[in-house]
C-alpha cells in the first residue's frame, strides 16, 4: 500500500493496534512493517521459542475493517482464505516453504477482532524487490527456480495447488541464497469439486483462473502453477514484469536477453509453459524445470523427498481435502491449532450484539443524566464546600485508614479462598485414595511389574501370587496402582528384579 494511502487508512483509525500485544502467550508484537489490501504485517519476538524456532517471527494479521465495511460474501471469503492458508501451511514440511508457528483470532488494543498467522521471518525481502534493480543471471535464475519448483512439487504431492505464484510471494533468507514460497491464501485442492474462482495476479496467474466461461474441477491442475512459475522466470531473467503478455503466451524476449546463447531454448520452454491451453504445457513443475535446464541439472526432489510426500498424501488428504474445503468457516478455526475457543463467526456476532446493547442503553440513560445534571451540580458544590473545611491532615488519615482496611479485606479474602481450595484438594485426594484402596493389598495372581502406568511400558519385575504389597499412589484414571512389595508370595525368580512399580488394579485384592 502506498505511503499516502496508508496514512489515510491510519488517520481513519482502520489500522490494527497490535504493538505490545502478546499472541499465543509467546509472540510479542513489536512493530508494523507492511500493509496490504486486507492484511497487515508485523514483526514479533518469540519469547518462548520451541525446538528449532527462531526468536524473531512475522505476524500476518487479517484486518476486515482495513477499507471500511465489507460485504458479507467478501468477508467470509477472506476468513476462509486465511483459515485454508493456516491448514495448508501447517501440513507442509519443506525447506523452501515458509514455516507456520501459530495462528488464531484475537482482539487488538482497541478491541477490534482480527485473524492472524505467525510465520517465519525472512529478512532478505521478496524476489520482486531483489530483482527490481537488475535482472539475474541464467545460473541464478535456475537456482531460484529449482527451489521454487521443489516447494511446489511438495505441495502438489499433497494435492495442494498454490494458484498465486509470483515474485512478491517468494521470500529470501538473510543471505538471499534460500528462497521460500508463502501466501497459500488462495490455494485449492487438485481436482476439487466446484468451479474455479478468479484468483491470483492477472500478470502471473494462468488464464483459466480469469476466463469468463464456466470452468470445472478438470481445469484445476499443476499446469496452472507451471504457468505462473514461467512468468516468474521471465521476470527474474528480464528484470521486467510480463505485462506485454498479460493472460497470453510469452512469444518473445527483450533485446538484452535475446543476445544470450540460451535465449532460443529459454523462449521455447517459456512459450510452452505459458500456453493458453493447459494440456499443451508441461504437466508438472519438475518437467518444467527439467526443460529449463535441458534435463542436465539434478532433479528438483530426491527420491527420499518424493517417497515421503507420497507416503503422507492419503493421511494429509483426509485432513486437508475434507476439513478445509467442505466444512464451514467456524470449523476451520476450531480445527486449526492455537485457534482459541470462540469461533470467528460467533465472536463477530457477539461483538455486534454488545455494541448495539450499549448504544441502546446510552440512548435511554443520556436524557436522565441531562435532567439530573442541575441536581448533581448542586450536590457536588455542597460536598466541595464541606470537604474544604476539613484539614489536609484529617483527609490523609482517613485515606490511610481506608487503604489499610482495603488491604486487610483483600488479604483475608485471598487467605479464605486459598484455604477452601487447599481443603478441597485434600478432600479429593482422600476420596481418590479411598477409591483405589490406598493401604495394603494382596496379589490375586502373578502380576507383571511395569515402569509406568501402561501395559506397553517396560517390564521391571514380577509380583508373585499371594504377595503382600503397599499401595503408594494411583494413576489419574485409577486403573493402575504404584505398589511396593513388602512380602513375596514365593521366592523371587530373579533376585535383581524390582520390588516397586506399577500394576493393574484388577489383579489386587484390597484389605
Name the superfamily (CATH) of residues 3-120+329-341: Phosphorylase Kinase; domain 1 (3.30.200.20)
Which CATH code is given to the segment(s) 437-510? 2.30.30.40
Cβ count within 10 A of residue 123: 13
Cell of 144: 531460484
DSSP string, 75-100: HHHHHHHHHHHHHHHHH---TTB--E
In this predicted model, what pLDDT tens digit does every residue of 11-55 receive, in sequence order?
Answer: 445 788 888 889 988 999 999 988 877 888 999 999 988 888 999
The CATH-assigned architecture of domain 127-301 is Orthogonal Bundle (1.10)
Q: What angle do CA 131, 132, 138 make, to 5 degrees?
A: 30
Q: Kindly indicate the confidence band of residue 350, based on its pLDDT and cuts at 50, 70 and 90.
A: low
436-459 mean pLDDT: 84
Largest interatomic CA distance in the chain: 99
Q: What angle do CA 340, 345, 347 make, to 5 degrees?
A: 60
* Cβ atoms of 183 and 247 closer than 8 Å: no
pTM over 0.75: no
Helix (H) / strand (E) element for 408: namely helix 392-436
Average pLDDT, the chain: 77
In this predicted model, what pLDDT tens digit does every residue of 249-270 receive, in sequence order?
Answer: 998 888 888 877 888 899 999 9
Rounded CA-CA distance 502/460 in Å is 9
Q: Is the pLDDT of residue 382 over 70?
A: no
In this predicted model, what pLDDT tens digit does every residue of 68-116 receive, in sequence order?
Answer: 677 778 888 888 888 888 888 888 889 999 999 999 888 888 888 889 9
With CA atoms as reference, report the closest residue to 271 among 281, 262, 286. 281
* Candidate from 145-149, 299-303, 464-468 with smallest mean pLDDT: 299-303
Amino acid at each position: 500500500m502506498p505511503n499516502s494511502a496508508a496514512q489515510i487508512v491510519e488517520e481513519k483509525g482502520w489500522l490494527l493496534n497490535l504493538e505490545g500485544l502478546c499472541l499465543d502467550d509467546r509472540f510479542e508484537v513489536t512493530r508494523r512493517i507492511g500493509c496490504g489490501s486486507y492484511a497487515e504485517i508485523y514483526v514479533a519476538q518469540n519469547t518462548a521459542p520451541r525446538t528449532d524456532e527462531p526468536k524473531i517471527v512475522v505476524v500476518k494479521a487479517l484486518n476486515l475493517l482495513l477499507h471500511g465495511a465489507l460485504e458479507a460474501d467478501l468477508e467470509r471469503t477472506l476468513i476462509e482464505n486465511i483459515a485454508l492458508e493456516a491448514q495448508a501451511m501447517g501440513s507442509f514440511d519443506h525447506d523452501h516453504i515458509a514455516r507456520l508457528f501459530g495462528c488464531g483470532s484475537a482482539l487488538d488494543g482497541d478491541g477490534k477482532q482480527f485473524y492472524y498467522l505467525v510465520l517465519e521471518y525472512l529478512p532478505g525481502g521478496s524476489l520482486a524487490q531483489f530483482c527490481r534493480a537488475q535482472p539475474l543471471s541464467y545460473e541464478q535464475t535456475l537456482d531460484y527456480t529449482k527451489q521454487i519448483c521443489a516447494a511446489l512439487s511438495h505441495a502438489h504431492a499433497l494435492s495442494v495447488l498454490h494458484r498465486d505464484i509470483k515474485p512478491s510471494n517468494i521470500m529470501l533468507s538473510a543471505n538471499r541464497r534460500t528462497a521460500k514460497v508463502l501466501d497459500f491464501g488462495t490455494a485449492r485442492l487438485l481436482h476439487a469439486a466446484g468451479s474455479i474462482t478468479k484468483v491470483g495476479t492477472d500478470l502471473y496467474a494462468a488464464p483459466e483462473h480469469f476466463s469468463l466461461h464456466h470452468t470445472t474441477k478438470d481445469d484445476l491442475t499443476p499446469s496452472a502453477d507451471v504457468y505462473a512459475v514461467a512468468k516468474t522466470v521471465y521476470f527474474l531473467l528480464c528484470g521486467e514484469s510480463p505485462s506485454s503478455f498479460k493472460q497470453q503466451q510469452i512469444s518473445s524476449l527483450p533485446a538484452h536477453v535475446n543476445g544470450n546463447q540460451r535465449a532460443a531454448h529459454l523462449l521455447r520452454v517459456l512459450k510452452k509453459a505459458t500456453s493458453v491451453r493447459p494440456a499443451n504445457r508441461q504437466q508438472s513443475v519438475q518437467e518444467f524445470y527439467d526443460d529449463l535446464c535441458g534435463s542436465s541439472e539434478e532433479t528438483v526432489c530426491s527420491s527420499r523427498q518424493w517417497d515421503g510426500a507420497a507416503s503422507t498424501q492419503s493421511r494429509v488428504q483426509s485432513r486437508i481435502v475434507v476439513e478445509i474445503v467442505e466444512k464451514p468457516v467456524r470449523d476451520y478455526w476450531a480445527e486449526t491449532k492455537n485457534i482459541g475457543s470462540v469461533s470467528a463467526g460467533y465472536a463477530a456476532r457477539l461483538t455486534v450484539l454488545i455494541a448495539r446493547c450499549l448504544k441502546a442503553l446510552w440512548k435511554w440513560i443520556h436524557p436522565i443524566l441531562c435532567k439530573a445534571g442541575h441536581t448533581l451540580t448542586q450536590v457536588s458544590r455542597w460536598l466541595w464546600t464541606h470537604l474544604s473545611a476539613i484539614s489536609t491532615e484529617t483527609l490523609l488519615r482517613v485515606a490511610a485508614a481506608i487503604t489499610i482496611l482495603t488491604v486487610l479485606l483483600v488479604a483475608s479474602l485471598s487467605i479464605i479462598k486459598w484455604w477452601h481450595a487447599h481443603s478441597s484438594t485434600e478432600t479429593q485426594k482422600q476420596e481418590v485414595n479411598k477409591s483405589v484402596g490406598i493401604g495394603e493389598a494382596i496379589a490375586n495372581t502373578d502380576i507383571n511389574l511395569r515402569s509406568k502406568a501402561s501395559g506397553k511400558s517396560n517390564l521391571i519385575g514380577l509380583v508373585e501370587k499371594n504377595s503382600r504389597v503397599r499401595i503408594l499412589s494411583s494413576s489419574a484414571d485409577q486403573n493402575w496402582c504404584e505398589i511396593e512389595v513388602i512380602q513375596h508370595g514365593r521366592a523371587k525368580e530373579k533376585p535383581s528384579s524390582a520390588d516397586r512399580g506399577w500394576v493393574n488394579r484388577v489383579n489386587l485384592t484390597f484389605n
